[in-house]
Amino acid sequence: MKKLYGTVVPIVTPFDESGKIDVGSLKNLAEYIIESGLQCIYPCGTTGEMCLLSEDERKLVVETVVRQVNHRIPVFAQVGAMTEKETVELARHAVKTGCDGIGVVTPIYFQISDRGLVDFYVRVAQSVPSDFPVYLYGIPQNAVNDISFQVAQEVAARCPNIVGMKYSYPDMTRLQEFMLINQETFSVLVGPDHLFQAVVAAGGDGVVSGNAMVLAEHYREIWKALQAGEWDVARKIQRRTNVLNRILCEKNNISAYKVMLREKGILCFAAVRAPLENLSVEEERDLIERMRELDYTRVIG
């Protein structure tokens, strides 16, 4: 079964002037990720405003990306939703559409026990073919529910297609615990970008990074350096991305990504969906100027 590695990009969902999915910009974005040399596209995640999209919109996004990518790099769709029924429907749709695998965020808002989380993940994993890769997705600061080592270990033992997880909380101890699952074959990727180099050095498989849409050159070179064992080079580039990422994430990071992607000519519009807030004209101008002042596309190493 396929596993994620390197830089996995949780792409934004572009909207047009009327607030509908901008299919043309979405195709441009998918093409840009491929041409940038990054390893995987991950639609309908947190960065893709998943909770603000209808089921039909999420299906349209996944279908568009899969067709555009056409097997050139893996596509793993994030299918976790407000209800288990919708999660299962989106998981089955991902299989039917031709995705290479799925990510499944924990149930959100309502607190679930560890037993409830295990049962949820087993049911979702068993709703798709036994050889279709499933990644757990933990982001407790947003979703309320967290994934413990014990939960991940049990679901991985019960469902062979649960092959790894994306963990978006900066806890290195827990990240390394996850790496012990299934005789240390469990795939672990980190969400917080500043831990990319550290997690890979500790035995992890990569990062799931929205910032990589704007800073693709840097993430490509970090991964290249890590693969070559050039730890000093990777560390230098990582530290530069940390500075740039801090600027991108100061206010609304999703809006900032869209502004910079519009600036690059990849998206037509930079709107996010309410109740998320767009950057003001002044904030957009300040963001672009500060990134340019730092010569943000220049990779050091």
Q: Which residues belong to the active site?
A: 137, 166
Count of Cβ atoms closer than 10 Å to residue 83 Cβ: 10
**Residue 6 bridge partners (DSSP):** 206
How far, in Å, CA of 24 to CA of 14, rounded?
9
Quick check: 189 and 196 in contact, CB under 8 A?
Answer: no
Cα 39 to chain centroid distance, Å, stands at 12
Quickly count: other Cβ atoms within 10 Å of residue 218's Cβ.
26
- d(CA 129, CA 179) in angstroms, rounded, equals 24
Identify whether the C-beta of residue 13 lies closer than 8 Å to the C-beta of residue 58: no
Residue 85's alpha-carbon distances to 101, 114, 188, 271, in angstroms, are 18, 20, 27, 29
Beta bridge partners of 136: 104, 165
Structural contact between residues 219 and 37, judged by C-beta atoms closer than 8 angstroms: no
Q: What are phi and psi of 134, to 5 degrees?
A: -125, 130
Two tokens, residue 131: 């050889």
Q: Are 44 and 58 in contact (CB under 8 A)?
A: yes
Q: If you search the block for the tokens 């709107």, which residue do you land on?
A: 271
Burial (CB count within 10 angstroms: exposed 0-12, middle 13-18, buried 19+), residue 274:
exposed
Q: Where are the beta strands (DSSP E) in the chain?
A: 6-9, 40-41, 76-78, 101-105, 134-138, 162-167, 187-190, 206-208
